Amino acid sequence: MFYQARAAPAYLGTPVLMARPGSNQYRARGSKAPALIPAGPSGGIFVPHGTTGVTYNTFAAAARDRDCHRRAWAAAQPGCPPELLSKLARDRAQTVRSAVAANPSCPPDALARLALEDPPNVISSRRDAPLLPALQAVKNQYCPPEALARLYHSRTPEEWRGAKLFAIIGRRMVTRDSWGAQLLLCVANNPNTPQDILLELLGNPGQDIRRAAAGNPGLSKAALAMWQLTH
């Protein structure tokens, strides 16, 4: 049986996978095993696609492989069957969960769970922050509105501002930018974010967050005009 992938947005990257002749094993071009591909200036990851004709058995074998890079390959494919994505969303490897969270075919319940996943207290480097599962899930344009609302209401404005993420640079632990601000910016950008939350974000102290909320296609022009008249 072959699986038709949900149409992937253009920003999710271009096909980077190739198969060895006579083999069902796929890998990223120029690397030993498929992995998350760093994105451009906007951050996040590219999700490799272009896997038309990959069978269920190929996806299933990759999803249970001991190599986390191969599991991440399966998790990143829009054509991966939903039941396998749901299983991979609980994978012990963060890179695998992040790939599921960025996948446009990720089941809504799995996306909702990943969006609420707490980040680690400390990450190994600054480059790891954009690849955290919660951040990828909230960036996903298919993240359910109820998950975005639950995430937003899980903390007070003061707690959002105080949420920090630490990174180890060399042997020193340094403070990253506010983790709360990163998540809120993704919430403000997501077209599925409920309109009442977008109106609240228009009053956020962060200029980037206010600008994102004002430009969100989910915010009607009438609601924006009314807010501007009353504030």
Query: How high is the mean pLDDT of the chain?
Result: 74
Q: What is the pLDDT of residue 124?
A: 55
Q: Is the pLDDT of residue 8 over 60?
A: no
Task: Report the candidate in 127, 107, 143 with the shortest Cα–Cα distance to residue 218.
Answer: 143
CA angle (193, 148, 7) in 5-degree steps: 70
| Cα separation, 133 vs 139, whole angstroms | 10
Q: What is the mean pLDDT of residues 90-96?
A: 93
Contact of 193 with 148, CB cutoff 8 Å? yes
Contact of 47 with 12, CB cutoff 8 Å? yes
Q: What is the pLDDT of residue 159?
A: 77
- Read off φ and ψ for residue 107, nearest 5 degrees: -60, 145
Digit-coded pLDDT (tens) for 51-88: 556 888 999 999 999 999 999 999 999 999 999 999 99
Percent of the chain scoring above 90 in pLDDT: 42
Point out which residues pair with 17 in neighbouring strands.
Answer: 28
Q: What is the dihedral of CA 211, 216, 220, 222, to 10 degrees?
A: 10
- pTM for the complete prediction? 0.71
Neighbouring C-beta atoms of residue 16, cutoff 10 Å: 18
Domain boundaries defined on the chain: 1-106, 108-231
Digit-coded pLDDT (tens) for 115-157: 988 776 655 555 666 678 998 999 999 999 999 999 999 888 7
Q: What is the pLDDT of residue 66?
A: 93
Q: What is the pLDDT of residue 31?
A: 35
Q: What is the pLDDT of residue 52?
A: 52
Q: Residue 231 — pLDDT band, cuts 50, 70, 90? A: confident
Q: Is the pLDDT of residue 161 over 60?
A: yes
Q: What is the pLDDT of residue 1?
A: 45
Digit-coded pLDDT (tens) for 179-203: 778 888 899 999 999 999 999 998 8
